[in-house]
Structure 1
Amino acid sequence: MRTVVCAEPGYMALEHRDPPRCGKGEALLRIRRIGVCGTDIHAYGGNQPYFSYPRVLGHELAGEIIEVGSEGDPKLIGQRAYVIPYLHCGQCRACRKGHSNCCQRIQVIGVHRDGGMCDTLAVPLNHLVVSETLELDQLALVECMAIGAHAVRRSGLVQDELAIVTGAGPIGMGVAQFARECGARVVVIDTNAERLAFCRDKLGIEMTLNPSEDDINAALKALSDDEFADVAFDATGSPAAMQAGFDLLGQAGRYVLVSIVKADISFHDPDFHRKELTLIASRNATRADFDHVTHLMESGRLKVDAMITHRAELADVPEQMPAWCTPATGVVKAMIEISDTPRLFIQRSSS
Structure 2
Amino acid sequence: MKTIIVNQPGDVQVIERDMPVRKPGEALLKVLYGGICGSDLGTYRGTFAYADYPRIPGHEFSAEIVEIDDNPQGLKPGMVVTANPYFNCGHCYSCERGLLNCCEHNETLGCQRDGVFSEYVTLPVERLYDGKGLPAKTLAVIEPFCISYHGVSRAGIKPGNKVLIVGAGTIGTLASIAAKSKGAEVYICDLAREKVDYAVQTFGLAGGIVNTGDDQAFLKQCMDITTGNGFDVTIEAVGTPATFQNCIDAAAFGGNVVLIGVGKKNMDFNFTIIQKKELNIFGSRNALKKDFLELIDLVKAGGVDLEKIITNTYSLDDAPRAFNDFDKNAAHMLKVIIKF
TM-score normalised by structure 2 residue count: 0.95
| Partners of 1:222 and 1:330 in 2: CA distance | 28
Q: CA-to-partner distance for each residue in 1:59-85, whole Å, 9 max, x for gaps?
A: 001010001147687851110001210
| Partners of 1:59 and 1:183 in 2: CA distance | 30
Report the equivalent of 1:242.
244
Structure 1 position 15, deviation (Å): 1.1
Residues 26 and 124 of structure 2 are in contact (CA less than 8 Å); yes or no, is this contact kept in structure 1?
Answer: yes
| Partners of 1:267 and 1:276 in 2: CA distance | 16
2:321 is matched with which residue: 314, 319, 322? 319
- The residue type paired with residue 63 of structure 1 is A
The list of structure 1 runs, each at least 4 consecutive aligned residues, that deviate by more than 4 angstroms after superposition, is 69-75
Structure 1 position 222, deviation (Å): 3.0
Residues 203 and 303 of structure 1 are in contact (CA less than 8 Å); yes or no, is this contact kept in structure 2?
Answer: no
Q: Cα 1:84–1:328, aligned 2, differ >3 Å: closer, same or farther?
A: closer
Percent identity over the alignment? Answer: 29
- The residue type paired with residue 237 of structure 2 is A
* Matching of residue 280 in structure 1 with residue 282 in structure 2: yes
* Matching of residue 271 in structure 1 with residue 273 in structure 2: yes
Report the equivalent of 1:297.
299
Report the equivalent of 1:347.
none
| Partners of 1:274 and 1:261 in 2: CA distance | 26
Q: CA-to-partner distance for each residue in 1:220-257, whole Å, 9 max, x for gaps?
A: 22332321011110112322222232110111111111
| Partners of 2:170 and 2:194 in 1: CA distance | 13
Unaligned runs of 5+ in 2: none
Report the equivalent of 1:343.
none
Residues 29 and 67 of structure 2 are in contact (CA less than 8 Å); yes or no, is this contact kept in structure 1?
Answer: yes
Helix, strand or coil: the match of 1:289? helix
- Which deviates more, 70-79 or 204-213? 70-79
Output the aligned Cα RMSD.
1.8
Q: CA-to-partner distance for each residue in 1:292-335, whole Å, 9 max, x for gaps?
A: 21121111112311111111111110133111112367211111
| Partners of 2:75 and 2:146 in 1: CA distance | 27
- Which deviates more, 180-189 or 260-269? 260-269
Residues 322 and 336 of structure 2 are in contact (CA less than 8 Å); yes or no, is this contact kept in structure 1?
Answer: no
Unaligned runs of 5+ in 1: 339-351
Q: CA-to-partner distance for each residue in 1:121-171, whole Å, 9 max, x for gaps?
A: 101111110123211011100001000100011111111111110000000
| Partners of 2:248 and 2:82 in 1: CA distance | 36
| Partners of 2:226 and 2:50 in 1: CA distance | 39
Residues 183-262 of structure 1 aligned to structure 2 (within 5 Å): 183-212=183-212, 215-262=217-264
Residues 128-147 of structure 1 aligned to structure 2 (within 5 Å): 128-147=128-147
